[in-house]
Amino acid sequence: MSVLSQMALLFIGAALVNNMLLTRFIGLCPFFGVSSSMSTSVGMSLAVVFVMTLASGATWMAWKFVLSPLGVGEFLYIPAFILIIAALVQFVEMYLRKASPVLYRAMGIYLPLITTNCAVLATATEAAKPGFFKMNIPLGPSLGLGEALVYTLGVSVGFGFALLTFAALRERLEAAPVPAALRGAPIAFISAGLLSFAYVGLAGWFGL
Amino acid sequence: MKHLVQTFVKGITRENPLMILMIGLCATLAVSTQFQGAVFMGLAVIFVLTMSNAIISIFRRFIPNEVRIPMFIVVIASFVTIVDLVMKAFVPSVYAFLGIWIPLIVVNCIILGRAEAFAYHNGLPAAIADGLGMGVGYTIVIVVFAFVRELFGSGAVKFFGATLLALPSWYAPPSVVLLFPGAFILFGFFLAGWRALVSRPGGGGGCS
């Protein structure tokens, strides 16, 4: 298989077939928290794509050049990765506020929340130290930097896609006649379940 | 003393993290396919939550306000690392089942949320009572939910190979109960039932 088609498979596998939100339940807090309106979902999705890709690159390098050669990775990877992400988010926020006020207005308030978004930690961990997720993609025991970045980009685009679909669904739900007992969060979960059926149906695409 | 009991009980009923505050959902939906895994997940959360609440409460006068979040995260990540290594060593089958969800306890909103909202402002006894109450409230919900899912999804509930409860053999378990959509939909009904029978949300809550 050529490198390009393998990258494409990795992207589709990460974005759709193994969608982070709807087939792995990772990152549900923002999924239910910000999906009540379309504009907040757009901001959140942008921020996630941006931060997640940077975070994976950073943890990949930390694992490859620091944690793994020193032999401390097994018991230091959790604090190390989360601190890298927290610091990175802080720097991105400071930089954006100075350099690009437009971008900062679009996703600024979501940046602090992203530190505790489990999707970012999960993806950054998986990119740097694979083995937690089982995906039917022919990959080696460790990813190269390029593969790690493509994988992360796939995950974050899939995250944004699912979030936007769900936000559109919920805006309609506002006006729907829902039984009193199910109003609010319960009906949101049930509609997320129906959306999840669609993603489960993608299993087996391209042999993934 | 009465005050401590009240703090403990509110974590189970009035401010139940899963049913009322709706935080820490990701792991709940993901690991509730197996009763045994859910029990260990609950224990891990009780341990990390109580210990990090205690440590943060003891040192709350020395933690500067500006860097409190990174410091909370370091404390939490240390306890999560303890859980990670202990489970890997003593219950490898459970460790393999829980997988990424062990490191992801670091970014579980319940723990950081309680550190920020409660432990940072209260004394040691109250912080421990809060940690235990929230942890037990979490564990009750996840264990009951996993019991129901495993019973109806696979026909029998097992704990380290011993069958706790089995449905008659004519029952053909629908696999959707164990799949992702089933988790969302069942949780929606679970939420509606809890809010009708035990306690209703009073607003607030939520994170990332």
Q: What is the pLDDT of residue A28?
A: 80
| C-beta atoms surrounding B196 within 10 Å | 12
- Pick A136 or B103 by higher pLDDT: B103
Averaged pLDDT score across all residues of chain A = 82
Tell me which of A23, A29, A84 to substitute to probe the interface with B (most B C-beta atoms closer than 10 Å): A29
CB-CB neighbors (< 8 A) of A77 in chain B: 103
CA distance A21 to A163: 8
Q: How far is B76 from chain A (nearest CA, A)?
A: 9
Q: What is the pLDDT of residues B89-105, one digit of tens each?
A: 999 999 988 888 888 88
Q: Cβ contacts of residue B86 below 8 Å, gap of 6+?
A: none
Q: What is the pLDDT of residue B201?
A: 67
Tens-digit pLDDT string for chain B (208 aa): 788 888 888 888 888 888 887 788 888 888 888 899 999 999 999 999 999 999 999 998 998 887 888 888 889 999 999 999 999 999 999 998 888 888 888 888 888 888 888 888 889 999 999 999 999 999 999 999 999 999 988 888 888 878 888 888 888 888 888 888 888 899 999 888 888 887 676 544 444 3
Chain B's closest residue to A76, CA to CA, is B81
Q: What percent of chain A has pLDDT over 90?
A: 3
Q: What is the pLDDT of residue B204?
A: 43
* A63 has pLDDT over 50: yes
* A87 has pLDDT over 80: yes
A141 residue type, one letter: P
Contact (CB<8Å) B26/A25: yes
Q: What is the pLDDT of residues A166-185, one digit of tens each?
A: 988 888 888 888 888 788 78
CB-CB neighbors (< 8 A) of B184 in chain A: 189-190, 192-193, 196
Q: Which helix (H) or strand (E) holds A97?
A: helix A73-99
Chain A's closest residue to B197, CA to CA, is A181
CB-CB neighbors (< 8 A) of A189 in chain B: 184-185, 187-188, 191
For the packed helices A118-128 and A73-99, what is the interaxial angle rounded to 10 degrees? 120
Helix runs in chain B, H state only: 2-12, 25-31, 35-58, 68-90, 92-98, 109-117, 124-154, 180-197
A29 vs B183, B195, B207: nearest CB:
B207
Tell me which of B107, B110, B185 to substitute to probe the interface with A (most A C-beta atoms closer than 10 Å): B107
Between the ranges A79-93, A102-116, B134-148, B180-194, where is the mean pLDDT highest? B134-148
Q: What percent of chain A has pLDDT over 70?
A: 91
| CB pairs < 8 Å spanning A and B | 135
CA distance B75 to B52: 6
B25 vs A23, A28, A113: nearest CB:
A28
CB-CB neighbors (< 8 A) of A200 in chain B: 179-181
Chain B's closest residue to A34, CA to CA, is B208
Chain A's closest residue to B83, CA to CA, is A75
CA distance A83 to B192: 37
Q: What is the DSSP letter of A14?
A: I
* A138 has pLDDT over 70: no
**Total residues belonging to chain B:** 208
A190 vs B30, B81, B184: nearest CB:
B184
CB-CB neighbors (< 8 A) of A44 in chain B: none
**What six digits make up the tokens of B71?**
């410091």
| Per-residue confidence band for A91, with pLDDT thresholds at 50, 70 and 90 | confident
Residue A26 region, left (φ>0) first, then alpha (ψ -120 to 50), else beta? beta
Q: How far is A87 from chain B (nearest CA, A)?
A: 8
Are the beta carbons of A22 and A162 closer than 8 angstroms?
Answer: yes
Contact (CB<8Å) A33/B70: no
Domain containing residue A66: 3-207
Contact (CB<8Å) A200/B180: yes
The ipTM, to two decimals, is 0.80
CA distance A196 to B183: 10
The burial class, CB within 10 Å (0-12 / 13-18 / 19+), for A11 is middle
Domain tally for chain A?
1
